[in-house]
Amino acid sequence: MPTNVQGIMEVMNVNKLTKAECRVRILIADQLARMNKKLGGDMEKIETVGLYMIEVWKALGMSLEDGKVEILWSSKEVGSRVNEYLDLVADIIDKNSLAGLKSCWKFMDRTDEVVNLNASQISTLGMQCADIFFLQADICQFGMDKREVNILAREYCDKIHQKNKPIVLSHHTLPGLKEGQDKMSKKIPSSAIYINDSEAEVNRKIGEAYCPEMVVEGNPCLEYIKHIVFPWFNGFVVELNEQDGGVRAFESFEDLVVHYECGILQPDDLKVALSIAINKILQPVRNYFEDNDTAKQLLRSVLNYGVSG
């Protein structure tokens, strides 16, 4: 499966950074993927997925043409300075206790307890932390599920007496569409909306989504509206029947919440409006992958691999 709509948030954040005159380096962690046996450790397949991701970013409107965004591959970056990189990974691991690394992994993996932390997981933490320093990043931008790696990097600065610590800029991690899902599940495709989903698939998934009447807390539909629709469109439009008030345009999420909590806005109306908004965002992506032969072939390959994320 292709990447999910979390990628929309990532693109918006990168564009905000470049608009603020930041230079952005995006690291495609192909080396880490190989080490963790993603796609069987097949580097050709891993590279294909990386190239597909670049096409997704283009289709979503990431500002890649003005030179402010640099896309790097970890295999090439590490390969050119392998000893320096391995020394850094080893030092980060050496300066942290096993208990501390376990705690970091627990938060990343969203589990209550980590009984056994294997060597690969320890290396993963060390490498993700090392990437921040290897790229000479002033600001680290991950999802909240990777926030602990950023904290690990800041704590490492204390241990090596480095005053300039990387700034942590964490974007929200979207929940799954099913009840009680903290994040989208690769094992339950219907719990996530994917970038290349058809209009019908988006409508079906949102139609089946958990959306309790008059309940805001733990409502994934409202989470998608808050973190994707409002930032993208600077508002949210709900089309009702004339007898129910006609078209309602919400300029703030807080106003939407008030109408939903008191029952003026019903789940079915919310879902229809959310489906329309998401499809408006994704239609140019569908058009791009339909019209661009390279992108189309990459998508076809990724679908054959059964990749999701």
10 Å Cβ neighbour count for 77? 18
What pLDDT does residue 116 have? 64
Q: What is the pLDDT of residues 202-212, one digit of tens each?
A: 999 999 999 99
pLDDT at position 125 over 90: no
User: pLDDT confidence of 117, banded at 50, 70, 90?
Assistant: low
pLDDT at position 201 over 80: yes
10 Å Cβ neighbour count for 283? 11
Crossing angle of helices 119-134 and 82-94, in 10° steps, is 120
- 278-283 LR contacts (CB < 8 Å, sep 24+): 278/5, 278/193, 278/202, 278/206, 278/224, 278/228, 278/229, 279/199, 279/202, 279/203, 280/233, 281/8, 281/60, 281/228, 281/232, 282/5, 282/195, 282/196, 282/197, 282/199, 282/202, 283/199
User: pLDDT confidence of 53, banded at 50, 70, 90?
Assistant: very high
User: pLDDT confidence of 107, banded at 50, 70, 90?
Assistant: low
Instruction: Tell me the CA end-to-end span of the chain in Å, nearest whole number.
Output: 8
What pLDDT does residue 97 have? 78
Percent of all residues in the chain with a pLDDT value above 90, rounded to a whole number: 66
